[in-house]
Amino acid sequence: MIDPVEEFKKHTGEVVPLPTAVPGNTPIYQTASATGNRTLWVVFVIMLISSLAFYIMAFRVPVQKRLFHILTAFITTFATISYYAMAVGDGVGKNKITIKHTQKHFPDTYDVIYREVYWARYVDWSVTTPLLLLDLCFLAGVNGASILVAIVADIIMILTGLFAAFTVDESPKWGWYAMACIAYLVIIYQLAINGRQTAMQKDNKTATFFAAIGGFTLVLWTVYPIIWGIADGSRNINVDSEIIAYAVLDILAKPVFGFWLLFTHDAMSNSASIDGFWANGLGKEGTLRVGDDDEGA
């Protein structure tokens, strides 16, 4: 194929002038608009109201039966704080991405993109998702070793997702993303295999309920990395769409999950009841006494 530029140089001996202006140097800012900000405030209010409702529900049952209520209330409480931080602009940073465009006869051009990354969302997930896992594991009766593995895998998943969101180069970014997906597979195994097997050993109501709410949670959690891949990952959707997508998922995974769990758990005649230190504190036996001397010493 004949290159017209080279042919022109060959016949005229002239040097082709370079462009006086290099395109692509104007930074591109991918930020939330008023729509995204309003969405954050709406979810903040939903999380706040849900938290208050969960605390009220907790005080309406004996302390022995408050385990799920307290865990669930903590989930939406941390989400309330997170969404407030994002709504007022305190939980957001900007990631600078530079995209190189190689030209044959002209200098390379670059697109510089500054995209908002809501790091408060990852702080929220690093606290709330382990609490949510505790809800499910306690419901199924999973052993302590499996619970620990699930929680550690969950924290790894969130942290690697955060690292990926702020990584500039594409290859390391998707390496972090792959680590997060592997950690998620560990969580799926602990819930779908170990959790289901343990729940099956309980009564039919508990086993059926765990299968339903556990499956609901896993479906939602599977959508999160998909949204990340097309938002922070490949930047194929704008920040407003990202906020709305995560908002819908967070509402389903936290308030909706919480009300479903608590209403169903409270309706069960064999709902979990915990005595001992949880309900009564430390008794006289085995407590540490400070300043008591033996008589006659």
Q: What is the pLDDT along the chain (297 residues), one digit of tens a residue?
A: 555 545 545 555 555 454 444 454 678 777 888 999 999 999 999 999 999 999 999 998 888 788 899 999 999 999 999 999 999 999 888 877 766 666 666 666 667 778 888 999 999 999 999 999 999 999 998 999 999 999 999 999 999 999 998 887 878 889 999 999 999 999 999 998 988 889 888 888 888 999 999 999 999 999 999 999 898 888 888 999 999 999 999 999 999 999 999 999 888 766 666 666 666 676 654 444 544 455 444
Q: What pLDDT score does 9 carry?
A: 52
Q: Cβ–Cβ contacts within 10 Å for residue 277, how many? A: 9
Do the domain assignments include residue 5? no
User: 143 with 188: CB under 8 angstroms?
Assistant: no
Side chain identity at residue 24, one-letter code? G
Question: What is the number of domains present in the chain?
Answer: 1
Q: Which of 86, 103, 232 is nearest to 168 (CA)?
A: 232
Q: What pLDDT score does 297 carry?
A: 44
Do the domain assignments include residue 155? yes
Q: Using CA atoms, how far apart are residues 118 and 235, in angstroms rounded to an integer?
A: 14
User: 76 with 199: CB under 8 angstroms?
Assistant: no
Q: What pLDDT score does 189 carry?
A: 93
Non-local CB neighbours of 145 within 8 Å, separated by 6+ positions: none
User: 99 with 120: CB under 8 angstroms?
Assistant: no
Do the domain assignments include residue 282? no
Do the domain assignments include residue 290? no
Do the domain assignments include residue 293? no
Q: Using CA atoms, how far apart are residues 168 and 172, in angstroms rounded to an integer?
A: 8
CATH number of the domain at 262, please: 1.20.1070.10
Residue with tokens 């510089």: 112
Q: What pLDDT score does 8 carry?
A: 46
Q: What pLDDT score does 46 carry?
A: 97
Do the domain assignments include residue 60? yes
Do the domain assignments include residue 278? no
Could you tell me the CA-to-CA distances from 227 to 61, 217, 236 in Å, in that order? Answer: 38, 16, 10
User: 126 with 163: CB under 8 angstroms?
Assistant: no
Q: In what order do the strands lie in the sheet with 109-117?
A: 28-30, 109-117, 93-101
Most distant CA atoms of the chain, gap in Å: 116
Do the domain assignments include residue 93? yes
Q: What pLDDT score does 275 carry?
A: 60
Domain enclosing residue 81, as ranges: 18-269
